[in-house]
Structure 1
Amino acid sequence: MPALTDFSPIAQQLISLTVCFILCSLLGVERQFHHKNAGVKTHVLVGVGSCLFTLISAYGFASITTASVAVDPSRIAAQIVSGIGFIGAGVIFVNNDAVRGLTTAATVWVSAALGMACGAGLFHLAVYALLLHYLVVFIIGPLMNLIPHSNRNLRTVVEYEAGQGAMRQILSVATNHGYKASVTSTSPIEIEEGDGMRVVLKFEGPHPQTALINAIAEIPQVHAVDQVDRNELD
């Protein structure tokens, strides 16, 4: 297999951009698969841009490099690391005490790193980093969710208007936030509007559940949402 240095400089640059495009596309597919805002397009553009900056740093000033004029190729690479943060910050959302988008922001950083590695011709590092990313997201992440949490006895009590489709909306919100919901008990209650329901639910998924609780509380037919320990319901 020929080394990258066996090709002409133009061929080296085009190969680097092509490899970067492929790897960052695979990185973005994972985010797209999880229905995140920053998908294939964002990661490809970040990676290709970083790769292009790195190539410019490595090749763009070769003609003016002399014994008296020194060019440091690492300077542009250092600026990429500093400048890419604004994109990562753009995909982080804070809702009360819940923070979302950190993983996507981290993959944007990885995308930039893949681009820089490809621009420097370090394809083996780029491929290995992509494999490690998939290992973390698809294997280590789900395994971490199996670790028992201190709030495994937590239950959510919701009171809502009966016959208005509120329960369907609650389950839909839970699914959209990545939770699996199971109903522990239900009981009819009286509310100001007439007939109501009181349901106790158990949500399995990420912790804390602040964002989920806030989303349920915003459903118009929901009158009250509270989280209690299972032992308090006995």
Structure 2
Amino acid sequence: MQLIGLQWMDVADTLCALMLCGLIGFEREARRKDAGIRTHILVGLGSCLFTMVSIEGVPMLLGQGVTWDASRIAAQVVTGIGFLGAGVICFANDTVRGLTTACAIWIAAAVGVACGAGMLPLAALVTAMYFLVVLAVAPLVTWVLRRDRDCTLRMTYEDGKGALRETLLLAAGAGFETQIVSTHDRSGDDWNGATVEMRVSGDMAHLHDVIERMSQIDGVRDIEVLERDE
């Protein structure tokens, strides 16, 4: 009976890791990050299982009277997550990207370890604090620092229609300075083009109207304002 109860407790801890890490991954997925809900759930479940094996599995196999440091396996989770986090960080055109997503993966691993150790209230608290930071603290800091003189736009356009040139001319005419950050080839069923990211500097109060006018240019298929950690 004790073994059955312990197994059901492990199931509850695992489900908690799945749910909490899934919430973190959903937030990243909604922001169109490379590491989304699947990655964060798998990281959380793996961390949870490693912790359970370290705390319960190995001592049970070794038997009574054998000294075992329960932190030895779980401690390696931190090292392994470092490799995953490095995989989503990139540096291009003097800009570092993916730091927040790498931190989210690290938090998901920590939440998984906490769930595996049975510390469900602490895991839930850390998850709630994650959302507080990314949804409330970050916008508040941006407002306090008044970082409202520049932003990054991502635009997808068709080749052969002069859409990029018209967009740059429109931005310049509205008093904005533009700088192309990156360009990637794109194609659809009946069109070829590219996706460009451009840094725009100027009076952000008029940016919405400028974007509306850009979206009406012939050949522009999509345009959006990126979050600062993108």
TM norm structure 2 = 0.68
Match of 1:90 among 87, 90, 95: 87
Q: Shift of residue 66 of structure 1? A: 2.4
Q: Which position in structure 1 is the counterpart of 2:175?
A: 200
Q: Kindly indicate whether the alpha-carbon contact (under 8 Å) linking 2:150 and 2:199 is maintained by their aligned counterparts in 1.
A: no
Aligned pairs for 1:99-114 within 5 A: 99-114=96-111
User: 1:215 — aligned with what?
Assistant: 182
Q: Does the alignment pair 1:52 with 2:49?
A: yes
**How far does the alpha carbon of each residue in 1:28-83 deviate from its partner, in whole angstroms, 9 at most, with x for none?**
0100111101000000000000000001111112242322x211111111111111
Secondary structure of the 1:37 match is coil
What percentage of aligned pairs have identical amino acids? 38
CA distance in structure 2 between the partners assigned to 1:153 and 1:42 by the alignment: 31
1:47–1:115 contact (8 Å) kept in structure 2:
yes
| SS of 1:134 mapped into structure 2 | helix
Q: Where does the alignment leave 5 or more consecutive residues of structure 2 unmatched?
A: 152-160, 186-192, 204-230
| Contact 1:65–1:71 (8 Å) recurs in 2 | no
What CA distance in whole angstroms lies between the structure 2 residues aligned with 1:15 and 1:99? 38
- Whichever structure has more helix as a proportion of its residues is 2
| Residue of structure 2 in register with 1:25 after alignment | 22
Give TM-score scaled by structure 1 length: 0.67
Following superposition, the deviation at residue 99 of structure 1 comes to: 0.2
- Paired residue type of 1:34: R
- 1:160-215 per-residue CA deviation (whole Å, 9 max, x = no partner) reads xxx711267669xxxxxxxxxx95x52xxxxxxxxxxxx63168xxxxxxxx6423
Match of residue 164 from structure 1:
162
Counterparts in 2 of 1:83 and 1:128: CA distance versus 1, 3 Å: same
User: How far does residue 88 in structure 1 lie from its aligned partner after superposition?
Assistant: 0.4
Contact 1:29 1:39 in 2 (8 A): yes
Distance 1:65 1:124 in 2: 30
Q: Which stretches in structure 1 are left out of the alignment for 5+ residues?
A: 155-162, 172-181, 187-198, 204-211
Equivalent position of 1:206 in the other structure: none
Counterpart-to-counterpart distance in 2, 1:145 and 1:167 = 31
Does the 8 A contact of 2:50 with 2:74 survive in 1? Answer: yes
Give secondary structure in 1 for the equivalent of 2:125.
helix
> 1:137 aligns to what?
134
